[in-house]
Amino acid sequence: MKTRNPWLARICALTLMGSAIVQADEAIDAHNVNAFWGVSAEKLEYRYSDSDEKLAVIETDAWYGSDELKFRWQFTGEWEENHNAWETLENQFLAQTPISEFWDAKAGIRIDTPEGPDRVYGVIGLTGLAPYWFEIDTNLYVSDKGDASVDFEAEYELLITNYWIVSATFETLLAFSEDREIGVGKGINSTEVGLRLSYDLIDRAFSPYVGVVHERKYGDTADFARASGGGTEDWFAVVGARLAF
């Protein structure tokens, strides 16, 4: 990891948390409780592909705030074992507020510092619960190079029992312009479909899982990947755990 950007990340985090703590101090005397926090890892897993690719994937989320305003730090990292490098290293710092019964709007910045060129993005997004219990998260990013992209994630949890849960996920990334330096082509970049079977071992705090993930790259993005010696389609077996504190 490089040092300069993590520092930037820390400063951003402190600024956001600082303003939240001031709020909490005012709230301490109120009759009810109105500031909370949560730390979770939605994915903490090892992926092993049919083409011998090995990845460690981490997705964490930490938040602090009230019903009206939450501050979030979301981290996504993909460590590629074969190259000993972070293929993805992404930090998002967001403020989030409800806009309807089931939906929240969010805005903030995203800082990408993987192996290769870095990017900083402005983010606006929407997250919430769609009818039939689909959890949706979608964001519009504009990078410091002026490129815009949209990602979309949907998750559905199927309860086999109240402890054995199958979660189906779908993710896609769509770019409005090309950013060849970081391997992004115009149009649909990639899709990732996952199916994970988990068991709630300790409350909802520790839930180990196994599953399969299918990743595919499209169009120019696929060409860029091939050009740099990477694959464009992979099936992974995954093993990991979901954590929540």
Partner 1 sequence: MTRRLITVTLALFLPAIGMAGEYDLTVDRVKIDTGDFVKEGIGYNGSSPGPTLRFKEGEDVVINVTNNLKETTSIHWHGLILPFEQDGVPGISFPGIKPGETFTYRFPVVQAGTYWYHSHSGFQEPNGAYGAIIIEPEGREPFRYDREYVVQLTDKHPHSGDRIMRNLKSSPDYYNRQQQTVMDFFTESREQGFMATLHDRRMWGQMRMMKADIEDVQGFTGLINGKGPEQNWTGLFKPGERVRLRFINSSAMTYFDIRIPGLKMTVVQADGNNVQPVNVDEFRIGVAETYDVIVHIRDEQAYTIFAESMGRSGYARGTLAPREGMVAEVPELRKAPMLTMADMAGHMDHGDMDHGSMNHGGMDHGAMDHSSMNHGSMDQGSMNHAGMDHSAHGGGMPEDPFYASGSGLLPTASNGGKFLSYSDLRAQSPLYEEREPTREIEMRLTGNMERYEWSINGVKYEDADPVVLQYGERVRFKFVNETMMTHPMHLHGMWSILDVGAGKWNPIKHVISVAPATTVYMETEVDAPGEWAFHCHLSYHAAAGMFRKIVVEGGPNEDVASGDAQAKGGDA
Residue pair 92/123 in contact (Cβ under 8 Å)? The answer is yes
Which of residues 73 and 79 has its CB atom nearest to partner 1 in the complex?
73
Residues 126-155, one symbol each (x = binds partner 1 by CB under 8 A, - = not), give ---x-xxx----------------------
- In the chain, the amino acid numbered 132 is Y
Of 6-14, 21-29, 210-218, 235-243, which part binds partner 1 (CB under 8 A)?
21-29
Judged by CB under 8 A, the residue of 22, 102, 117, 237 near partner 1 is 102
CB-nearer residue toward partner 1: 29 or 52: 29
Choice from 22, 158, 237, 239 touching partner 1 (CB under 8 A): 158
HSE-CB of 172 using CA atoms within 13 angstroms: 8
Q: Which is nearer to partner 1, 7 or 36 (CB)?
A: 36
Q: Contact with partner 1 (CB under 8 A): which of 30, 82, 146, 202?
A: 30
CA distance 169 to 155: 4
To partner 1, the closest distance from the beta carbon of 17 in angstroms equals: 17
| 25 forms part of the interface with partner 1 (CB under 8 A) | no
CB of 40 to partner 1, least distance (A): 8
Residue with tokens 């079977």: 197
Nearer to partner 1, 102 or 176 (CB): 102
- How many Å apart are CA 230 and CA 226, to the nearest integer? 5
Nearer to partner 1, 40 or 49 (CB): 40
Rounded to the nearest 10°, the torsion over CA 186, 46, 7, 173 is 20
Binding flag, residue 33, partner 1 (CB under 8 A): yes
> With binding defined as CB under 8 A, does residue 116 bind partner 1?
no
Q: How many residues bind to partner 1 according to rule CB under 8 A?
A: 31
| CA–CA dist 75, 89 (Å, integer) | 8
Give burial (CB, 10 Å; 0-12/13-18/19+) of 231.
middle
Instruction: Kindly state the tokens that stand for 72.
Output: 């979030």
SS3 readout for 109-155: EEEECCCCCCEEEEEEEEEEEEHHHEEEEEEEEEECCCCEEEEEEEE
Give least dist CB 71 to partner 1, A.
14
Which of 82, 84, 100, 228 binds partner 1 (CB under 8 A)? It is 100
Give the bridge partners for 187, in sequence order: 175
Residue 244 binds to partner 1 (criterion: CB under 8 A):
yes
- The phi, psi pair for 63, rounded to 5°, reads -140, 155
User: Which chain residues interact with partner 1 by CB under 8 A?
Assistant: 27-34, 36-38, 40, 67, 98, 100-103, 129, 131-133, 158-163, 203-204, 244
